[in-house]
Chains A and B, each alone.
Chain A
């Protein structure tokens, strides 16, 4: 692979992975709202 292709691939894929992980982690870490909320597992 050329250096420019390699750098672009690594930067883009790493950024997308980190941003995806960040938002999903934020969802997991956010405490559920007070009842009644939308999710039956929290009842």
Chain B
């Protein structure tokens, strides 16, 4: 446990940092795409229901757990979980709260570096007069997609990544108050201003005359037109619940780490609501109003239906902004990539704190030492995602650390808090010092509905079939979806071939990246074991 005197400067700073942790690239790029794929405007109904019965309870659980752990001087999930129960195995579930952040921060910082580079490119006017294909090629060249060797070696992207990583590490080394909080107080208002500027531009864009249906209002209609029949489709509900999971950054261990610096008499209920709804505002009001309407405004609905996805941010948006003339193109480009950069860095900083908290608490490392060792570790973890980007390693990191780990950890922590710790103790923790009246029915939602909700997500992620309507193959047996966890582990849909006449296959790189991630997880478990033994020795020495 720690004797650290690190802490927050102000309540608003904490809320902005928590909201910054949640607000990420997905608010602007994942949410609108999920909405158009799952019933348009109707998607908001399962989305809000998931927020109310899973998102809010999970936020309260994580804020309360963190504050509870902080009482014992613990600032990372292994020993926060350990404080809640006498069963020592739970601290190894807490390892997910460090592992997830290391894995995600490694590839997320790489994306963040793209947004930094593209902010500068927009400022320099590099996209001026370029056709949409040329903008796409510029991005491919930047990350070295299509390299003859099959190995990506993007020298400038690598330099930008190192600069972005160093910036993150420097801010983390300054601590919570002088580093993270100051950035959040500056970045979050700017992000909202940039987002509001682009959303207003999109709403008032209207018809551009580029094609028959090139009209931003058609884009908005596409997003918001309700298709009520989709409410009966379980896939839509799963997608909405999944989106709530990822947008709130629950199941990562970052919220516990941030709230562990709160005193036990201070509020968590209102803080959690404020930060959670702020994330919702950025996603539903700003995020939904930028990419799809502007893209439909210039490219038409059919083009957007075919091409909507994450890479539109880099391959399409600069071209669209260029249609607004040279000055507005620069302003809009800086606003767009600037907001993505701020969304990214406020999240990546949060991901760095669990490792820092753990090393400071257990091994008495300084802020500087914890931060720069984190930087070194992340550098080596990120290299495979950069060099083997096209081999699928980047997506593999995202799948295991940015998707699967979150669900496993969230399921474990809600069971631990509501059932092992006990719902009465849990309720006492959530409501102590609350600056709002927490509705009593949430006690039952937390005990029954939230675990079932997350359990269903975990179960369906494990056993997801290609088609829920006909889950069995004609010849017999379960028809596994490619992204079901069981299929991913055992490669049931593909023959395992590591080498062909052309050398190592993508599967070889993917499996090696899994071995690497597993080794990181085992290494973290070993560190937790060492820390636990140190605690036992210290306890014996004191008794």
Contacts and interface: CB of A to CB of B under 8 A. Distances in A.
B11 A32 contact: yes
B471 interface: no
A5 B9 contact: no
B274 A8 contact: no
Contact of A38 (B8, B218, B270): B8
Across the A-B interface, give the 10 residue pairs with the lowest CB-CB distance, nearest first: A5-B224, A20-B281, A23-B274, A9-B224, A5-B225, A20-B277, A1-B221, A41-B10, A8-B41, A38-B262
B261 interface: yes
Nearest to B5: A40
B266 A38 contact: yes
B154 interface: no
Contact of A9 (B41, B177, B265, B278): B41
Interface residues of A, number: 28
Nearest to B259: A38
Contacts, number: 103
A30 B8 contact: no
Contacts of B22: none
Contacts of A13: 284-285, 288
Given A23-B273, A27-B274, A33-B265, A2 B11 contact: no
Contacts of A20: 274, 277-278, 280-281
A28 B265 CA distance: 18
Contact of B220 (A9, A16, A19): A9
| Listed residue (A4, A26, A38) with the most chain B CB atoms within 10 angstroms of its CB | A38
Interface in B199-246: 217-218, 220-221, 223-226
A38 B278 contact: no
Interface string A1-42: 110111011001100110110011011101011001111111
B271 interface: yes
A40 B8 contact: yes
B28 to A, nearest CB: 15
Given A40-B8, A40-B177, A41-B9, A5 B284 contact: no
